[in-house]
Amino acid sequence: MLYQIYETNRAWISPFSEFASAASKLYSNPLSALAQIPSAHRVSAGFDLMHRLTKEYEKPEFGINKVHVDGTEVVIQEQVVEAKPFCRLLRFKRFTDNAALLDKMRNQPSVLVVAPLSGHHSTLLRDTVRTLLQDHKVYITDWIDARMVSLEEGAFHLDDYINYVQDFIRKVGPDVHVISVCQPTVPVLAAVSLMASRGEATPRTMTMMGGPIDARRSPTAVNNLAMNKSFEWFENNVIYRVPPNYPGAGRRVYPGFLQHTGFVAMNPDRHATSHYDYFLDLVRGDDDSADAHRQFYDEYNAVLDMPAEYYLDTIKTVFQDFALVNGTWKVRNAKGKEELVKPADIKTTALLTVEGELDDISGAGQTKSAHELCTGIPKTRQKHYDVIGAGHYGIFSGRRWREKAYPEIRAFILSHNK
């Protein structure tokens, strides 16, 4: 019922949001008579802020059209390599007329970025992808909003997520280097472990960044919520059915708007200050700062619904049973057979773990614990790196990602590419 109430409220408030947008332009356009009245710029700024606080945020585009490789501008084309009901595998194909550079790019390592399915769209990793494209062939998992997936496609469990990852690894090929950011560190480790146990070729490297491999270590507010509430509490309080105005009508989901409320509730003062600063930037005419605010919140406010089965499986498996670190996790494969996840079976895949010093989502040591599980990997093929001064987002986006984390990852991939 809550989802229906939310949709009704959204439909009711939509005209007011559009009115605020139009009013803002009327009070700022120099050709408008309203723009000539005293304090018109403040009125315009107020209406603009009202519009952004009430508008609906759609999934952003990656918008990566070009990058520089060895100082040469290279054109990027986004391609769908494989499409599944709940996810698309995207490739960012690089093109250039420079024959020598083209030959070099063909021989660069292939990287599969496994994006989180935890509220935000995969476009949250835009900076990750853009940076990787300088030295790699890049693929990424683009998870689909569950409210857009028909009930006819069936349920989507954590086991299905793992099977998807294995399929994508096979699609890219055995020479692939896998990078998992936050939530997918656990299912990616499971996917590679199961492939190793079967004797399949596994990726050359696994890079795990800021994920809850062992959520018992340095628990954060996010971990505590998942661990201290019962499984039944989550099922009864955050799971709702998609309303009839979407293709996935009737599907049980953890709605994006509830997740967004949780994100904001973690740091309400910071968000309030950010919006007030945005208002002041508009009044002062500081377009660069205002644009930076818009870019951040266009991404931050765009959320997706998660399949209920997948979300509840993750709560139980990762945050309550700690099945991976306890060695009790059994995954149902594509043929319906259960297999035990044994990270110790991984022998040939090199392992790099990355953590942010100030990460308030995945605490210190949670990702690093992967090394204790992957005992079959020689110590010479294992490495851990702490990004000093970085929070959770800083390890995969922004200056610290580009200047600190990325050089370590690039060097690690290159050293294990043969």
pLDDT at site 385: 97
SS3 content of the chain, % helix, strand, coil (to 5): 50, 20, 35
CATH for 99 = 3.40.50.1820
Alpha carbon distance 47, 279 (integer Å): 10
Residue 241 lies in a domain: no
What band does 276 get if pLDDT is binned at 50, 70 and 90? very high
Number of domains making up the chain: 2
Give kind and range of the element (H or E) at residue 55. none
206 DSSP β-pair partners: 178, 351
If one counts every other C-beta atom within 10 angstroms of the C-beta of residue 375, the result is 13
Q: What pLDDT, on a 0 to 100 scale, did the predictor assign at position 265?
A: 79
Task: Please check the confidence at residue 31 and state whether its pLDDT lies above 90.
Answer: no
Residues 114-128 have pLDDT tens digits of 999 988 999 999 999
Q: What is the mean pLDDT of the chain?
A: 93
Q: Is residue 350 part of a domain?
A: yes
Region 153-170: mean pLDDT is 97
CA 172, CA 205: separation in Å to the nearest integer? 14
- Confidence category of residue 35, pLDDT binned at 50, 70, 90: confident
0.75 surpassed by pTM: yes
Tell me the pairing of strands 252-254 and 306-307.
Answer: antiparallel
Do 41 and 70 lie in one domain? The reply is no
358 and 209 in a single domain? The answer is yes
- Looking at the fold, whether 74 and 116 belong to one and the same domain comes out as yes
Question: Does residue 244 form part of some domain?
Answer: no
**Are 89 and 161 found together in one domain?**
yes
User: Is the model more confident about 162 or about 220?
Assistant: 162
Q: What is the residue range of 310's domain?
A: 66-234+305-415
Give me the DSSP letters along 173-240.
Answer: -TT-EEEEESTTHHHHHHHHHHHHHHT----SEEEEES--TTTTSS--HHHHHHHHS-HHHHHHHS-E
- Which residues lie below 8 Å from residue 15, measured CB to CB, with a gap of 6+? none
Inform me whether the pLDDT recorded for 10 exceeds 90: no
